[in-house]
Amino acid sequence: MADRLSGKRILITGAAQGIGLAIAKACVAEGARLFLIDMDGPLLAREAEALKAAGAVLGYTAADIADAAKIEAVVAQAGAEIGRLNALINNAGVNVFSEPLATTDEEWQRCFDINLKGAWNCSKAVLPGIVSEGGGAILNIASTHAFTIIPHTFPYPLAKHALLGMTKSLGLEYAAKGVRVNALAPGYVSTQKVIDYWNSFADPEAAKAETMRLHPGRRIATPEEIALAAVFMISDECPFMNAATLTIDGGLSVQQHP
């Protein structure tokens, strides 16, 4: 175990699988205390207990980040179990992909409740404690959808664009109080969400092959590669990085043609 995150008490959302779980494991390895939340209670309990059995200091509970009152209670619970939080990783998100005119009110609401409002609920709940601690860090897991558009993925990019706006706004608002707010923008990552996306096509293997072809390195990221960047951004190794976004997509978003 290293100690790059020694003294960090971090709330991680969407921590039961994929990028969130990889980040949790990486943070534990660097000496952080964690409080994990996810909507999938049984899966979260299984993964959290496995981490605890391996020596992690953490608490966890099932929670819907769209429920502001619940998140306030979660932050209080986290403070009682691992100490007052001084860092937050807003990882929880949901894919809502449609064509604009086919998007229902329910899809729109679900997209923004989780991908934007949920991140704000968590940020609002932890910020007073972070400020009172003399500073800390918030990391929003955004997406390359936050600055590029893929047809038929509406309204997901709208919510991710707004998440970058919130990142910049909060970063500037609380900079003088020692709070850094940044975003991490992954591209395609080998998570269940991406597998589900491929499986939505008539020929999943062809869809997967096309995804790989789009990337300069002919592969996509692993959750562990995203976690490495998250550890850096939540640590004290980049103390002057604020209101910024780090892109990790293998060069996909900067090429004009594949």
Catalytic-role residue among 60, 156, 174, 188: 156
Q: Looking at the DSSP assignment, which residues form a beta bridge with residue 140?
A: 90, 183
Q: Are 23 and 225 in contact (CB under 8 A)?
A: no
Concerning whether 197 is annotated as a catalytic residue, the answer is no
Amino acid at 76: A
Number of CB atoms found within 10 A of residue 109's CB: 14
Q: Looking at the DSSP assignment, which residues form a beta bridge with residue 245?
A: 183
Q: Which residue carries 């494991």 as its tokens?
A: 25
Q: Are 41 and 65 in contact (CB under 8 A)?
A: no
Give, in degrees to the nearest 5, the angle at Cα 97 between 94 and 103.
110
Whole-number Å distance between alpha carbons of 177 and 200: 46
Phi and psi dihedrals of 162, rounded to 5?
-65, -35
What residue ranges in 14-151 does DSSP mark as E strands? 33-38, 58-62, 87-90, 97-98, 136-141
Q: Which residues contact 193 (CB under 8 A, 6 or more apart)?
A: 18, 95
Give, in degrees to the nearest 5, the angle at Cα 109 between 155 and 233.
65
Indicate which residues carry an active-site annotation.
Answer: 156
